[in-house]
Structure 1
Amino acid sequence: MTTTYFSDLVVEFLHQQGIDKVAFNPGASFRGVHDSLVHADNAGIAPGIVMTCHEEVAVAVAHGYHKASGRHMGVLVHANVGLLHASMAVFNAWCDRVPLFVLGGNGPVDAGKRRPWIDWIHTSQNIESVLKDYVKWCDQPVGQRATVESLYRAFKLMNTPMHAPVFVALDFDVQEQPLEDGVRLLPASATEPARLPALGDEDLDDLTRRLLDARLPVLVVDFSGRDPGTVAPLVALAEALGLAVVDRGNRMNFPTTHPLNVSHTGTDLLAEADLVVALEVQDLVGALGAILPLTDQGTPANGADLVTIGFNELLTSKWAADYQQFVPVTRAVAADTAGTVAALRAAAEDPDGPFAAPAFVERREERAKVFAARHTEARTDWARQAEETKARPRIHVAGAVDEIHRAVRDEEWVLTNTGSLTIDGWVKKLWPLERPGSYLGLNGGGGLGYGLGASIGAALAHQDDPALCVDLQADGDLLYTPSALWTLAAYDVPLLVVVMNNRLYLNSTQHAARIAGQRDRDIDRAHIATSFYDHPVDFVTMARSYGIHALPRVERIDAVAPAVREAVAHIKEHGKPALVEILME
């Protein structure tokens, strides 16, 4: 009779909860689960393995996979050393409010069962303390029944708003024990997340009144597009009410080409806004300061009403200050985003409701024309600026971003990563981000090493559909986790990697120049220890060494689009990755 081990039950749990892939860098502390994943008798239920060469890559792969698909990829990390490597990527996911299911080996906690040396240095008391302040929940259960309960609790909590990573330590000894009598899985539905209701009647009536009275209402969005199904209803709501929309862009929340989208168009247009509705906005002060003069308390200096709808107050860290500056708002509501948008839209489109009154319709149409004119003017100007940069002797980021889009515009592209705030800013000004899910946002925590791993995860999520996944990859970020190229090649991930190589840690160079200028010192020395000028990296040769198809480095703007088209053709013909390196300012 074949013996069933507790680790086999862990694999059965992953299958029960719909996890079809797990990412990890192999480690002895979860060897029990590893064996169960590859055991022939478990072949019908075991998730596929995505092997990486670093835990930070493994977490980033799962991060990108979920953002692209809404599905979970499990992550396994090796004891304390693997968890420490993974911690930066977990922090990124925490700040990005992405639910990750992270399981870590540990132990054996029972000291009498430890092997000399290695089991002692790879066993930790309260191992979850490494990241307990930037996960939603964590546990170090001892025993089979306790571990089963922890797995279900963790899975349920990470999917309950506000979403965030969770961590459960799997004791080395418990994994390898034969399954005890009576230890079994709970029903799959036990992990069904708790749900928030939509906007209640009292809050709906209050917001309806404010929207009716407002002369210049503004809708600020940030994370609502994590549910792609909210995009179209949000567009309909904005059109029905004539709202100016400012998209903070942590997801694809609202089409960049829509005439009501006035993001990045300057502060004068909305300076007289008298109502701001912030929907799932993380950095409220940053969002408000981009459109309005503020008091030292972070509130609109003109006295505009401020209504927040979202989950921020439901999850805060006692360690990380990613909750941002406290702002005294007019009204704060915790409610389900999709349900809230639907309720507001129903009120706004009611043919017998207050928004159908001729006076409101006239006011709505007048301000919508103003917003549309500014929108068109701004996009025309951005396109002109990008075109002018193409006359420069060296490739400028705006020109490169524009030419890359020219090369892929006829494809069903998905931007998996935009690498840096500079690249991201031009993407939002030049690319038509219109399809829900076509843009996945930045890394959340500002931690380097995210881009390629997350893009691999996103491309794995799209591996069976026609989408072309595009990673606009900053060179400095890639140098943190270059071993991700191994995973990219080993699994034939159909990803277009465009290395935007300025041979700089640009943000650090800018800070160095800024402080030198403030101190009246030589800003020409700002590149020292922030650049790769004196010892540049050859990303083409690096990629080829991993077996990835890499084109010759691009150094002229007129060569950008042809190189990208050639790389796309390779991906479509072979179903394998391709890399283009662009040397730029």
Structure 2
Amino acid sequence: MSTSYFSDLLVEFLNQQGIDKVAFNPGASFRGVHDSLVHEDNAEIAPDIVMACHEEIAVAMAHGYHKASGRHMGVFVHANVGLLHASMAIFNAWCDRVPLFVLGGNGPVDAGKRRPWIDWIHTSQNIESVVKDYVKWCDQPIGQRATVESLYRAFKLMSSPQQAPVFVALDFDVQEQPLEDGVRLLPASSTDPTRLPALGGADLEHLTELIRAAQLPVLVVDFSGRDPETVAPLTALADALGLAVIDRGNRMNFPNTHQLNVSHTSSELLAGADLVIALEVQDLVGALGSFLTLTDQGLPSNGAELVTLGFNELLTSKWAADYQQFVPVNRAIAADTAASLAALNAVAADPQGPFAAPEFTERREQRVKALANVHTEARAAWARQAEEAKGNERIHVSAAVVEIHRAVRDEEWILTNTGSLTIDGWVKKLWPLERPGSYLGLNGGGGLGYGLGASVGAALAHQGDGTLCVDLQADGDLLYTPSALWTLAAYDVPLLTIVMNNRLYLNSTQHAERIAGNRDRDTARATVATSFYDQPVDFTGLAESYGVHALPRVERIEDVESTVRAAVAHIKEHGKPVLVEILMD
């Protein structure tokens, strides 16, 4: 291929870095890149374009694509207005610690080259300031050489621990310039991420001694499953050492059906924890408070030893307080997760090591039996609650979750999104989340509008491999970005979207009820301006208007399984998306 313009070189860069898809809503400020992406001479190297109807959807698609595959989908955003639209989704990815490669148009910065009106209102001084407080790195380079360097630096930084989005502004004029002599790409390996070392030396010895001496060591996990390869060694470590496991569930970190998984159980047994190892945990106070009584400093009242292993401290925002409450832990270790698990497993497997002593093995066996009882009793209780809920007049979330799983359990499914904390909580209690990568987590930043776009991206990552991608979609979240349905239909993305429609912004309704109750006021008014009762949305009709096949709305629990089965059959036969709407309590 003969490169003629700088934007052609940018396409070569995307290809060199393995980016096979880019998402955007078209904008004139990156028209040079757009032309290079569709230019016939670049056809063999240009990534596929996935058009979105809103920048928030484009970024969410890249977010879900990476979580599902570990691969990058590039995102282009229009100057000013496009970046402002994209900013919410970028914040979600920041909080979710997902590396996104976001490129935006700007300018021309050289005022003498601007067209009247439009180029002036779409040119910014320091355009990256819109998102600078919740991206890992950003730049507004001027000139071809500077832009090449910025692209490589951004790609390397976003992939190095702690991972997060990056943003580079591409000057309108620079994109369209003929390629200057001597401007060329760097070696592909230039973007290889910087590596952290494994747990070792004094840190490994200290942690080994703490585990050996502990009566009830608890392992709390949160983000480790972003690397699916860590699930098996983590499970092996818990088995070898008899660790109680609390999974905070921002990824599929540890099988929820495993006998040592005591998440969500609120067992009195866990109050006796004397050692807590927090592996890639973001909200440490929230994690500890789920099973221990804490002081106002966030420390366990019982004096349990706290050790953190991860890299949260390597990346914090000066603007967003997503770093959570500061906890004065006993030892904080920055190390590579996979390599550290390997080091710990090696110690655990040593037949002459500290964990081979009879006093430890006897204590471990007693622990395992007690934890297994807690696990079994909790799962049985959750199943009973869901079964009892089937008798409710209106469909309850727990009952719906059980029936949906019954319909898809024989498929190779992946939960691309679980919609809300309520849905997510019941999924973790009732679905068998056992396969690495089978559950992708929530949005990270609590920003509505994530679910459908991220699910489209995840389903694109699995398009053609036979995986059934399931989006348990909250109705309020869908109403932020309904035009993602257009992308679903336009690209025949085989996604099963199940709208869990309670016609409420439930969290806001619950807060309204709580404040009214606290003030001894009428709680029945909590649905004013938090519900869609008076003007309900027809999601089935909405989907059909965008060209997505939709089945009749489900209003009885008896119809959930059969309707979802019919939807799955349609996807398998036609390879196209289907929407199912369930009206629920």
> TM-score, length-normalised on structure 1?
1.00
Once superposed, what is the RMSD of the aligned Cα atoms?
0.8
Q: What is the letter of the counterpart of residue 161 of structure 2?
A: P
Aligned-partner Cα distance in 2 for 1:548–1:319: 40
Aligned-partner Cα distance in 2 for 1:298–1:273: 15
| Structure 1 residue aligned with 2:476 | 476
| Structure 1 residue aligned with 2:554 | 554
Matched-pair contact (CA < 8 Å) for 1:65–1:459? yes
| Structure 1 residue aligned with 2:424 | 424
Matched-pair contact (CA < 8 Å) for 1:267–1:290? no
| Structure 1 residue aligned with 2:355 | 355
Matched-pair contact (CA < 8 Å) for 2:267–2:374? no
Which string of whole-angstrom CA distances, capped at 9 and with x for unpartnered residues, describes residues 50-78 of structure 1?
Answer: 00000000000000000000000000000
Give unmatched runs, 5+ long, in structure 2.
none
SS in 1 for 2:65: helix
Q: Offset at 1:464?
A: 2.4
| Structure 2 residue aligned with 1:396 | 396
Q: Offset at 1:454?
A: 0.2
Task: Please give the residue correspondences for 1:136-215 in structure 2 after superposition, counting only pairs within 5 Å.
Answer: 136-215=136-215
| Structure 1 residue aligned with 2:88 | 88
| Structure 2 residue aligned with 1:298 | 298
| Structure 1 residue aligned with 2:110 | 110
Aligned-partner Cα distance in 2 for 1:580–1:390: 19
Which string of whole-angstrom CA distances, capped at 9 and with x for unpartnered residues, describes residues 314-352 of structure 1?
Answer: 000000000000000000000000001110111011111
Aligned-partner Cα distance in 1 for 2:325–2:464: 42
Q: Offset at 1:354?
A: 1.1
| Structure 1 residue aligned with 2:287 | 287
| Structure 2 residue aligned with 1:126 | 126
SS in 1 for 2:103: strand
Aligned-partner Cα distance in 2 for 1:306–1:2: 58
Which string of whole-angstrom CA distances, capped at 9 and with x for unpartnered residues, describes residues 102-142 of structure 1?
Answer: 00000000000000000000000000000000000000000
Give unmatched runs, 5+ long, in structure 1.
none
| Structure 2 residue aligned with 1:225 | 225
Q: Offset at 1:248?
A: 0.1
Aligned-partner Cα distance in 2 for 1:83–1:584: 36
Q: Does 1:251 align with 2:251?
A: yes
Q: Offset at 1:201?
A: 1.1
| Structure 2 residue aligned with 1:33 | 33
Aligned-partner Cα distance in 1 for 2:267–2:526: 31
| Structure 2 residue aligned with 1:496 | 496
Q: What is the letter of the counterpart of residue 528 of structure 2?
A: I
Aligned-partner Cα distance in 2 for 1:393–1:3: 66
Q: What is the letter of the counterpart of residue 294 of structure 1?
A: L
SS in 2 for 1:271: helix
Aligned-partner Cα distance in 2 for 1:530–1:453: 23
Q: Offset at 1:267?
A: 4.3
Aligned-partner Cα distance in 2 for 1:129–1:13: 25
% of aligned pairs identical? 83
Q: Does 1:273 align with 2:273?
A: yes
Aligned-partner Cα distance in 2 for 1:464–1:284: 39
Aligned-partner Cα distance in 1 for 2:2–2:419: 50
Q: What is the letter of the counterpart of residue 92 of structure 2?
A: N
SS in 1 for 2:218: strand
Q: Offset at 1:3?
A: 6.6
Matched-pair contact (CA < 8 Å) for 1:58–1:75? yes
Q: Does 1:72 align with 2:72?
A: yes
Which string of whole-angstrom CA distances, capped at 9 and with x for unpartnered residues, describes residues 120-178 of structure 1?
Answer: 00000000000000000000000000000000000000000000000000000000000
Q: Offset at 1:394?
A: 0.4
Q: What is the letter of the counterpart of residue 252 of structure 1?
A: M
CA change 1:3–1:466 in 2 (3 A) is: closer
Aligned-partner Cα distance in 1 for 2:507–2:349: 46
Aligned-partner Cα distance in 1 for 2:187–2:2: 24
Q: Offset at 1:2?
A: 7.0
| Structure 2 residue aligned with 1:536 | 536
| Structure 2 residue aligned with 1:381 | 381
Aligned-partner Cα distance in 2 for 1:347–1:466: 39
SS in 1 for 2:300: coil
Matched-pair contact (CA < 8 Å) for 1:219–1:277? yes
Q: Offset at 1:507?
A: 0.3
Q: What is the letter of the counterpart of residue 30 of structure 1?
A: F
Aligned-partner Cα distance in 2 for 1:201–1:455: 42
SS in 1 for 2:80: helix
Matched-pair contact (CA < 8 Å) for 1:267–1:292? no
Aligned-partner Cα distance in 1 for 2:449–2:50: 18
Aligned-partner Cα distance in 2 for 1:473–1:351: 49
Task: Please give the residue correspondences for 1:429-508 in structure 2 after superposition, counting only pairs within 5 Å.
Answer: 429-508=429-508
Q: Offset at 1:548?
A: 0.7
Which string of whole-angstrom CA distances, capped at 9 and with x for unpartnered residues, describes residues 253-292 of structure 1?
Answer: 0000000000000141210100000000000000000010
Q: What is the letter of the counterpart of residue 289 of structure 1?
A: G
Q: What is the letter of the counterpart of residue 197 of structure 1?
A: P
Aligned length: 585
> TM-score, length-normalised on structure 2?
1.00
Aligned-partner Cα distance in 1 for 2:515–2:116: 52
| Structure 2 residue aligned with 1:236 | 236
Matched-pair contact (CA < 8 Å) for 2:3–2:9? no
Aligned-partner Cα distance in 2 for 1:244–1:59: 37
Q: Offset at 1:480?
A: 0.1
Q: Does 1:13 align with 2:13?
A: yes
User: Which shifted more, 350-359 or 524-533?
Assistant: 350-359
Aligned-partner Cα distance in 2 for 1:280–1:180: 45
Q: What is the letter of the counterpart of residue 248 of structure 1?
A: R
| Structure 1 residue aligned with 2:406 | 406
Q: Offset at 1:508?
A: 0.3
Aligned-partner Cα distance in 1 for 2:240–2:164: 33
| Structure 2 residue aligned with 1:264 | 264
Q: Does 1:346 align with 2:343?
A: no
Q: Following superposition, which runs of at least 4 residues in structure 1 exceed 4 angstroms of deviation?
A: none
Aligned-partner Cα distance in 1 for 2:346–2:577: 45
User: Which shifted more, 432-441 or 195-204?
Assistant: 195-204
CA change 1:66–1:217 in 2 (3 A) is: same
Aligned-partner Cα distance in 2 for 1:22–1:3: 20
Matched-pair contact (CA < 8 Å) for 1:456–1:495? yes
Aligned-partner Cα distance in 2 for 1:458–1:357: 46
Aligned-partner Cα distance in 1 for 2:481–2:522: 33
